[in-house]
Every structure is written in C-alpha cells, then in structure tokens.
Amino acid sequence: MFVNLIDILGTIAFAISGVMVALNKKLDLFGILIIAFVTSTGGGTLRDVLLGVRPIFWLTDTNTVYIIIATTAIAIIFRKYLKMVSKSLVLFDTIGIGFYTIAGIEKSLLVNLDPVICVAIGTISACFGGVIRDILCRRIPVIFKKEVYATACILGGVSFFALRMVAPESKWLSIVPILVVILVRIAAVRYKLTLPSLYKQKGPSF
Amino acid sequence: MFVNLIDILGTIAFAISGVMVALNKKLDLFGILIIAFVTSTGGGTLRDVLLGVRPIFWLTDTNTVYIIIATTAIAIIFRKYLKMVSKSLVLFDTIGIGFYTIAGIEKSLLVNLDPVICVAIGTISACFGGVIRDILCRRIPVIFKKEVYATACILGGVSFFALRMVAPESKWLSIVPILVVILVRIAAVRYKLTLPSLYKQKGPSF
Amino acid sequence: MFVNLIDILGTIAFAISGVMVALNKKLDLFGILIIAFVTSTGGGTLRDVLLGVRPIFWLTDTNTVYIIIATTAIAIIFRKYLKMVSKSLVLFDTIGIGFYTIAGIEKSLLVNLDPVICVAIGTISACFGGVIRDILCRRIPVIFKKEVYATACILGGVSFFALRMVAPESKWLSIVPILVVILVRIAAVRYKLTLPSLYKQKGPSF
C-alpha cells in the first residue's frame, strides 16, 4: 500500500514534469498529454521491453493512464501556479526516480539477473522517461546536465544490494534504498554537489 | 482485400513522406532508404513491441519491405515531381494514419486491453513512425506542430468504440472510424482548424 | 574463440567511440558511461527486441557490461591520447560494424527470416548503436553523413548470402562477409568514396 502510494506519487511527479516541459515548448493539448504520458511511462516501458516482461506495466494497469490524464488536465488548468511549486516538483521527481530505481531492480531480480545488470536496469527505468521527454522536445537530456541524477540512482542501487547482503529478509529492503536516492539527490541539489569535472571550463557544450 | 489495399496505400504514403524529408535533408541513397523504412514501419514496430506481438509484422511480411524499397526508388527517380503532388501526399498520409490507428486498436483488442489503452496504442501506431523520422532528421516532430494529427487518431479511436457499442458485429466497424480520422484531418487541414491555444503568441517554440 | 575476440574488439571499439563523443560534449562521468554503454549495446539490443530474442544479449552476458565499464574508465584516464589513435579507432569501429552485421544476420536466420529481412536486421544491428549515441548527444547521426557506412553493411550482408548459395557449409561463411564490410568501409574512407550524389551542392543540410 505504502509502495503503491509512492508509485502514484512518482507517476504524478513525472507527468507534471512532462507538462512543464511541454508548456515551455508551447505544444497543443494533445502534444502535452503525449509528453506527460511518455515521461511517466517511458522508463518503465523500456525496462519491461528489455526484461521481456509482458504485458508492459501500463497496458493492464489502466489506473496509471487515468492518473496521467487527470494530472495533465489539472496541471494545465493550474499552469500559472506550477512555477510556484517547482521546488516541491524536484522533490516529487526525486521520489519518482527513487521508486523507479528500486522497482526496476526488483523486477530484474525476478528474472535472476546479476546485481550489476540490475542496477543498470534500475537506473535506466528511472532516467529514460525524462531522456525520451527531452529528445521529443529537443532539449538537452536532463541526465547529461551537470546534476547528480543517474549517480543518485546508481548509489541507491548499490545500497540495495549492500543492505540485501546484510539483511536479506528485511522489510526495509525497498524503503531504505529509495531514501538513499532521495537524500543523495536532494543533498546534491541543496549543496550544488557535482561529480569531479574532467574539463577546464564548466558545463556541457550542447 | 480492401483493408489490404489501404494497408499498402498507407505504407507507400508513409515511405514517400520519409523520402521527401530525407531529400530535404540531402541524405544519400541508403540514408533515404533507411528513413523511408523507419517512417513506414516505425509506428507498427513500436505497437508490436509494446503489445508483445511476435514476430514484428514486417519480419515475416516481406512484401512490406519490397514495397518500401520500390516506393523509395520510384520516389527518388521522380523526385522533381514530388512537390507537385504534395497535396495528394497529405491525403495518402492521412489514409495511412487512419488505417494504422484502427489496425492498432484491433491488434490491442486481440490481447483484451481496455478501450482507453487501445486508443493510446492506435494513436502511437499511427503517429510514431513520423516522430522517429523527424527525430532522426532533427526536425520538429510533426505531431507537436499546430496541426490536428494525434487528435484525428484519438477521435477515430473513440468513434470505433462508440460504433462497437451500438453495432458490435457491423462490417463497417473498421471502415467508418478510418473515414472519421481522414475526414477530421482533411477538414482540419482545409479549414486550418487547431485545438484551442493555451498561449498568447502562436506556434510552437522549438 | 576467434569470433568471440572480434565480438570483444567490437564492443571495445564502440565503447571508445561513445566516450569520444561524450567527452566532446563535456558530459560528466556517468553521462560518459551511459553513452559508452548505449553505443556498444544499442544496436544489438534493438536487434534482440525486434527478433523477440530473450533475454537481450547483455542481460546475461555480464562480461559485456564489465568490458564497457573498464573500457570507459581506461579511455577517460588516457583521454589525451585518444585523438592520436583515432585512425585505429576507425578500424576498430569498422571491425565492430562488420561483426555486428553478420551476427545480426546469423541471429535472424535462426528464426528463419527472408534474406532481405536478415540484411536489414544486420544493418540495423551494426548502425543503430551509433545512431542512438548521436541522438542522445544531439549530433548529426553518423550514418546520414556522406560516408559509406550502412552501404558497407548492406554489401557485407549481400556477400554473406552470395557465399552461402555457393558454399553453404563453408567455415568462411562468417569471416569473409566481415572482411567485405571492413574492406569496403576502409577503401571508402581511404579513397573518399561516396554514393552518387542526388544534389547539386555537397553535404547534408542538417
């Protein structure tokens, strides 16, 4: 139930981030809906395609689709207020990538994959919805900006397997790594932490 | 047989639209062929991948591949005349999205999906060949321009399920919704109809 | 064993080409790793998804993932020397597309596809890792530049089926077509061969 709530929060957060990017690009109503949909479901769809899981999660979970449609409608109506809440949006988005990372790892474990592969799948699940959104909207993909984004997912994934070695039966096995993703990302945003730079001048040259 | 003919027309129309974009970007011969191929098969491929349908339709339907190769060759040879027929191309393209929308819905019904999901899959089938073409050629994806494109597909899909409630056994169940897509799109192009704008200035800001 | 060695060389070459593009775009460490990973595995992943082969090759072949991580680390450490070896990189990359073309054809034959489809799958396997890399990094996709790239793959694929008609049991059936891809590509780079132009002015207009 608690995980379900996080799942719904993640879906809503990703949908809203899609609406914000699409509004910024002045798309029309259905364009906005498509971008919201792709942002919310893209990472999980890629995960299910890679793992060969059938059906893709949103094909039979109609609630996800209704939540995205409702979120898009509400976000469009209250679009003037979206910027005012953009800080809570970073929080929602962060909850979203935290949840998707661990959900991706757990789905990968069901088909008995190596931990390194599981972390790769978890990170892809979390990040590629946003990547597809940005490519469709011709923006610089968010994970390639100088932000701790994929890094937070990878660290969360590593903490999952560390905790699993120590306490394989713990009921915290899902919750703690999600918190790790969230804390790493929020600490990075708050204190402007970045990975050590390989370059003399700053910022990506897109 | 009639549906088969529409299928072939749709494949040809999409291939020609791919050739036109690729010529505009001055790609070489094989670049043009690849874009024509991706435009024609991209939406249906994504549909089959999402639905888990195996094999992907063009893997065993070699005719589709030969039709695309032949269309590309003919379109390149007569490339000077393509602009003169560009109005009939909008018609072909529209027939194409009409057919793909309903074919996507019918394939989705075979795996017992919810009507809302079926319409989503039908719209994706119809639109994403063009989206992939535009991303590969670094153009603004056509469905995000101010044109009634995805909207026509969605209305066609809704009409399919409305008709199916009234007359589930009707032999018109495939044909009428295809006509709805075509008429909506042609009326929109003819009378320059767009969705109500959310923005003060006009046009997408790509 | 010999084929395995070529496979590893191809993976390394593609990973290095990913690192070079990512460094050029000034991505951070994990951005570089993701691009190296996508370049190396993208074409084969698309091949396995299209063919419905499960699991996707790198999910259970953990070595591929470790090779990519190690290659990325070494390439980043010695990044100053990468430009000096860029000619051998063209060679590696060419070995890579040669191998992937034939591996794609052989995997397609296992599911009894038509030769034309097999060559299409082989060419997609070889080329789309680089296409995805270039789209994520917002570059002009390499296969659309005026270079004999996809053409080399297609000619290699045709030579495979020509040789197979003459000598279906030959142990050279894998090796010779790989050499054809490599020789065509290297001859094209060396003598600046291109396909006949359809346009008056030169070069793609991206």
pLDDT, greater one: B83 or B204: B83
A17 domain-assigned: yes
In this complex, the chains that touch A, judged by 3 or more CB pairs closer than 8 A, are B, C
Q: Which residues of C touch A51 (CB under 8 A)?
A: 55, 59
Does the pLDDT value for residue B202 go beyond 60? Answer: no
A197 domain-assigned: no
Q: Is residue C156 a contact partner of residue C95, using CB atoms and an 8 Å limit?
A: no
pLDDT, greater one: A20 or A1: A20
User: Could you list the residue range(s) of the whole structural domain that residue B155 is in?
Assistant: 2-190
Q: How many residues can be counted in chain A?
A: 206
Given this model, what pLDDT does residue C1 score? 45
B79: nearest CA partner in chain C: C198
Does the pLDDT value for residue A4 go beyond 80? Answer: no
C153: nearest CA partner in chain B: B30
**Nearest of A190, A126, A115, A118 to residue A153 by alpha carbon:** A126
B64 domain-assigned: yes
Given this model, what pLDDT does residue A1 score? 45
Q: CA-CA distance, A31 to A184, in Å (whole number)?
A: 33
C37: nearest CA partner in chain A: A120
Q: Which range among A167-176, B123-132, C134-143 has the greatest average pLDDT? A: B123-132
Mean per-residue pLDDT, C88-103: 85
Given this model, what pLDDT does residue A8 score? 85
The two tokens of residue C85 are 């070896």
Which has the minimum average pLDDT: A78-92, A128-142, B90-104, C62-76?
A: A78-92
**Nearest of C8, C89, C90, C76 to residue C36 by alpha carbon:** C76
Does the pLDDT value for residue A34 go beyond 60? Answer: yes
Which has the minimum average pLDDT: A187-191, B158-162, C130-134, C192-196?
A: C192-196
Q: Which residue has the tokens 């590309």?
A: B72
Mean per-residue pLDDT, B109-115: 93
A29: nearest CA partner in chain B: B195
Burial of B87: CB neighbours in 10 Å, binned 0-12, 13-18, 19+: exposed
In this complex, the chains that touch C, judged by 3 or more CB pairs closer than 8 A, are A, B
Does the pLDDT value for residue A181 go beyond 90? Answer: yes
> How far off is chain B from C129, nearest CA to CA, in Å?
13
Which among A49, A135, A154 has the least Cβ separation from residue C49? Answer: A49
Q: CA-CA distance, B73 to C113, in Å (whole number)?
A: 23
Given this model, what pLDDT does residue B146 score? 63
Given this model, what pLDDT does residue B10 score? 82
Given this model, what pLDDT does residue A123 score? 93
Query: What is the DSSP secondary structure assignment for residue C195, as one 8-state letter?
Result: P
Mean per-residue pLDDT, B94-117: 92
What tens digit of pLDDT does each residue of C113-122 get?
Answer: 999 999 999 9
Instruction: Give the phi and the psi of residue A120 in degrees, each rounded to 5.
Output: -60, -45
Given this model, what pLDDT does residue B19 score? 92
**C62-70 long-range contacts, CB within 8 A, separation 24+:** C62/A114, C62/A116, C62/A117, C64/C11, C64/C40, C65/A114, C65/A116, C65/A117, C65/A120, C65/C37, C66/A116, C67/C8, C67/C11, C67/C12, C67/C15, C68/C11, C68/C15, C68/C33, C68/C36, C68/C37, C68/C40, C68/C41, C69/C33
Does the pLDDT value for residue C108 go beyond 80? Answer: yes
3-class DSSP assignment, residue A113: coil
C37 and A120 in contact by Cβ < 8 A? yes
A37 domain-assigned: yes
Mutate to test the interface with A, among B108, B121, B143, B144 (most CBs of A within 10 A): B144
Given this model, what pLDDT does residue C19 score? 92
Q: Which residue has the tokens 């390394």?
A: C12
What tens digit of pLDDT does each residue of C27-37 get?
Answer: 888 889 999 99
B104 domain-assigned: yes
A202 domain-assigned: no
Into how many domains does chain A fold? 1
Instruction: Give the phi and the psi of residue C174 in degrees, each rounded to 5.
Output: -85, -35
B202 domain-assigned: no
B195 domain-assigned: no
Q: What is the mean pLDDT of chain A?
A: 87
Q: Which residues of A touch C59 (CB under 8 A)?
A: 50-51, 111, 113, 117, 121
Does the pLDDT value for residue C202 go beyond 80? Answer: no
Label residue B30 by pLDDT band (50, 70, 90).
confident
Does the pLDDT value for residue A2 go beyond 60? Answer: no
